[in-house]
Amino acid sequence: MYYVYIIKSKSVGKFYTGLTDNIDRRLTEHNSKLSNTLTTKNLTDFELVFLATVENRKLAREVE
């Protein structure tokens, strides 16, 4: 099971779309500067605004 998600920074209104197999872990990574994603690693106030569940990584990449 994979998830395609959109998060939004509360402070700057910036959106980020991604995919993961563990949405709780991934959101924690984004909000604690543990993310290896350059576009989100300096922000810590993301909220989940969209979540879709898909069967596998290939399909998640297509949906993303």
Q: What is the pLDDT of residue 15?
A: 95
Name the domain count of the chain.
1
Per-residue pLDDT of 15-63, as tens digits, reads 999 999 999 999 999 999 887 788 888 889 999 999 999 999 999 999 9
Residues 6+ apart with CB under 8 A from 58: none
Residues 6+ apart with CB under 8 A from 22: none
**pTM of model > 0.85:** yes
Structural domain for 22, as ranges: 2-63
Q: What is the pLDDT of residue 19?
A: 97
Residues 6+ apart with CB under 8 A from 15: 6, 7, 8, 9, 49
pLDDT classification of 1: cutoffs 50, 70, 90: very high
Residue 12: other Cβ atoms inside 10 A: 8
